[in-house]
Structure 1
Amino acid sequence: MILELHHISKSYPKPGSGSIHVLKNISFSLDRGDTMAITGQSGSGKTTLLSLIAGLDRPDFGQILLEGKDISAMKENELSQYRALKTSIIFQQFHLMPHLTAEENISLPLEILKQDRIKELTDEMLEKTGLKDRRHHLPGALSGGECQRVAIARALIIKPALLLADEPTGNLDMETGEKIAKLLFDLVEKENKTLILVTHNPFLAGQCREIRRLEKGVLV
């Protein structure tokens, strides 16, 4: 298994006293190439769950294993390596560096990690996402769909074991969103990536092999 969650629970302090139980006893597993959509109302805990899997926060109880390693027990320096090398997140808001070109945004994770073959890998992702002719454009000169293509290329360039996406088409019109969804799932299938997708969009969720729903912190 690529990813295993065992009895994950998470709560946050409530203003005044007590706590808010956001996630309750979440368990599931995914193998290489599996795709899962997590749906649910706003505030149901979807983004919190994604943050825990990404190593951005820690559960109160339970284990999260990626390739057999318990990330919930990792020290901070190990977590930093995990976030840099093992997982990538595609956000709704793109989160591109405005002063960097499309090409520079895509290669940024490799530059930070001082990886080899930066130009070769960047050219490969520009080709796969149809951005070769836009490589020298700043984000401000790109459409929303093109910005999300850059974000997808940036996420995949490190060849992560696990790809996470938080409402990746939420900022796009329907037609552009469907094109981005097709690109994302085509790349996930071709590269045999494991994907967890958080979405309110039934069309997007329907592209995944498995759909789960969070209701009041419980995965059903």
Structure 2
Amino acid sequence: MLELSGVDKSFHLPDTGRVMVLNQVGFFLEAGTTLAITGHSGSGKTTLLSLIAGLDIPDAGTIRVNGIDICTLDEAALTRYRAASISMIFQSFHLMPHLTAAENIALPLEILRQDRIQERTQSLLEQVGLTHRAGHLPGQLSGGECQRVAIARALIVEPALILADEPTGNLDTDTGKKVADLLFNLVETRRKTLVVVTHNQDLAARCRETKILSRGNLA
């Protein structure tokens, strides 16, 4: 359901000129697979995730999700793709500070004007163990609770693909393990495809596949 072929990406830096970050990157991922992408800081892991998410475009190559080359989509089609087909989980949670936990989870459904919003939100609150925190703002939640809200928000639209950028990076070891348990259990039961960018080798080991990004190439 995810296929990259010949993907290049470079950036122009004032001091050093053009720097190649990704060079002829390609891989194929079947639906329901979990993939970890590891590598040292600055190797281009987050850049690769941004390209798959349609937040940036490659200099060359193709990125196909369910057979559609997202590199050929206009901005309106890309917006629809991001809203309906993928969800992202960030290291820093990226919750809306003025919305409650329940409202943050429900937000994607509100944007897409879908139905049964309250019922679906309540179901996910129960699955992530936060029913008792539904009315709390992010500033009133712990880091682990915020990440559980972020995971629920990512899953509520039933995306084809979930992208996670260091999802346990801001959490202590014990909390990170609990959040990872929750994420992988939900991904497995809902049969989602997951791509995780991480430095955490324990987290990477939980994925079915692992690829290392080094000098612009995947191994």
Question: Does TM, scored on the shorter chain, surpass 0.5?
Answer: yes
Equivalent in the alignment of 2:114:
115
Equivalent in the alignment of 1:48:
47
Equivalent in the alignment of 2:188:
189
CA deviation string 1:65-107 (max 9, x = no partner):
0000000111110000001000100000001111111000000
Equivalent in the alignment of 2:4:
5
Equivalent in the alignment of 2:73:
74
Per the alignment, in what secondary structure is the counterpart of residue 178 of structure 1?
helix
User: 1:13 Cα deviation (Å)?
Assistant: 1.1
Equivalent in the alignment of 2:37:
38
Q: Distance in 2 between matches of 1:16 and 1:75?
A: 32
Equivalent in the alignment of 1:99:
98
Per the alignment, in what secondary structure is the counterpart of residue 19 of structure 1?
strand
Instruction: Indicate the RMSD between aligned Cα atoms, in angstroms.
Output: 0.8
Per the alignment, in what secondary structure is the counterpart of residue 111 of structure 1?
helix
Q: Distance in 1 between matches of 2:179 and 2:96?
A: 20
Q: Distance in 2 between matches of 1:16 and 1:212?
A: 31
Q: Distance in 1 between matches of 2:145 and 2:16?
A: 46
Per the alignment, in what secondary structure is the counterpart of residue 178 of structure 2?
helix
Q: Which amino acid aligns with 1:24?
A: N
Per the alignment, in what secondary structure is the counterpart of residue 212 of structure 1?
strand
Q: Which amino acid aligns with 1:115?
A: Q
User: 1:46 Cα deviation (Å)?
Assistant: 0.1
Equivalent in the alignment of 2:163:
164
Q: Distance in 2 between matches of 1:14 and 1:21?
A: 11
State the 4+ residue runs in structure 1 displaced beyond 3 angstroms: none
Equivalent in the alignment of 1:21:
20
Residues paired across the two proteins, number: 219
CA deviation string 1:24-57 (max 9, x = no partner):
1011011111000000000000000000000000
User: 1:14 Cα deviation (Å)?
Assistant: 2.5
Q: Distance in 1 between matches of 2:21 and 2:105?
A: 34
Normalised by the size of structure 2, how large is the TM-score? 0.98
Q: Structure 1: give runs of 5+ residues left out of the alignment.
A: none
- Does residue 211 (structure 1) correspond to residue 210 (structure 2)? The answer is yes
Q: Distance in 1 between matches of 2:195 and 2:182?
A: 16
CA deviation string 1:175-220 (max 9, x = no partner):
0000000000000000000000000001100100001000011111
Q: Which amino acid aligns with 2:169?
A: G
Per the alignment, in what secondary structure is the counterpart of residue 79 of structure 2?
helix
Q: Distance in 2 between matches of 1:157 and 1:132?
A: 15
User: 1:16 Cα deviation (Å)?
Assistant: 4.9
Equivalent in the alignment of 1:173:
172
Q: Which amino acid aligns with 1:62?
A: G
